[in-house]
Amino acid sequence: MNLSSSLLESAVKEFSKLPGIGKKTALRLVLHLLKQSEEEVTGFSDTIERMRKEIKFCKTCFNISDSDTCTICLHPSRKKEVICVVENIRDVIAIESTEQFNGVYHVLGGIISPLDGIGPDQLTIDSLVDRVKKEKSKEIVFALSPTIQGDTTIYYIRKKLNDPGLKYTAIARGIAFGGELEFADEMTLARSIRNRLPVDSYIQ
């Protein structure tokens, strides 16, 4: 893309690094910013910079937070004894949008995938095990994408927890096998949360 300004070209290059943003879309965004006042653009850039510098990860569940403990973990009406295990922060956002789950979360930071070089030690599984013992949890809800890697991760975590007193459930298979949780529509995801199943029903 040949532009008359190297500064403009640099800005377009940076915006096009964002997921789903091609160079044409990046150019539209940059040109839009050029139409805004200097104060608005400064406010925009300051917000992004502050987010990157100050945002934290909850020390309990590893969700994004403005403080050491996220608002979900701190909320008094949440059922702390029910932990929903998810792959990433986007899955927390997706489930929260359904308004069907009133427990707390644990973000693994990925799923076990040897082909991608991701093993259990690279995830927050040990923290989950310690948390379950410390908080005397009653139910673990597995809300991982229904793929072979997701099922492998569920199997590993259950073996690692090794607690017959725990109730192990997983979201219902309204989510198609091989699909990604974050792309499921809210109605399907809500139904899957409400109708969660015992893990034994499909993890052997």
90 shares a domain with 180: yes
The confidence score (pLDDT) of residue 174 equals 57
| Dihedral, CA of residue 88, residue 91, residue 92 and residue 98, to nearest 10 | 180
162 shares a domain with 111: yes
92 shares a domain with 21: no
Nearest to 75, CA basis, from 86, 85, 63, 87: 63
137 shares a domain with 46: no
Above 90 in pLDDT, residue 172?
A: no
> Is 59 contained in some domain?
no
82 shares a domain with 50: no
128 shares a domain with 29: no
> Is 61 contained in some domain?
no
pLDDT tens profile 90-149: 999 999 998 989 999 999 999 999 989 999 999 999 999 999 999 989 999 999 987 889
Number of domains, the chain: 2
Burial of 34 (0-12, 13-18, 19+ CB in 10 A): exposed
> Is 151 contained in some domain?
yes
> Is 180 contained in some domain?
yes
90 shares a domain with 32: no
Write the CB contacts of 196 (distance below 8 Å, at least 6 apart in sequence).
141, 169, 170, 171, 172
96 shares a domain with 167: yes
Assign residue 37 the CATH number of its domain: 1.10.8.420
Assign residue 144 the CATH number of its domain: 3.40.1360.10
> Is 166 contained in some domain?
yes
pLDDT tens profile 42-91: 999 999 999 999 999 999 999 999 999 999 999 999 999 999 999 999 99
| Residue 111 tokens, joined | 């799923």
180 shares a domain with 148: yes
81 shares a domain with 50: no
> Is 60 contained in some domain?
no
What confidence category does residue 188 fall into, taking pLDDT thresholds of 50, 70 and 90?
low
What confidence category does residue 197 fall into, taking pLDDT thresholds of 50, 70 and 90?
low
Structural domain span for residue 37? 6-54
Whole-model pTM: value is 0.76
What confidence category does residue 178 fall into, taking pLDDT thresholds of 50, 70 and 90?
low
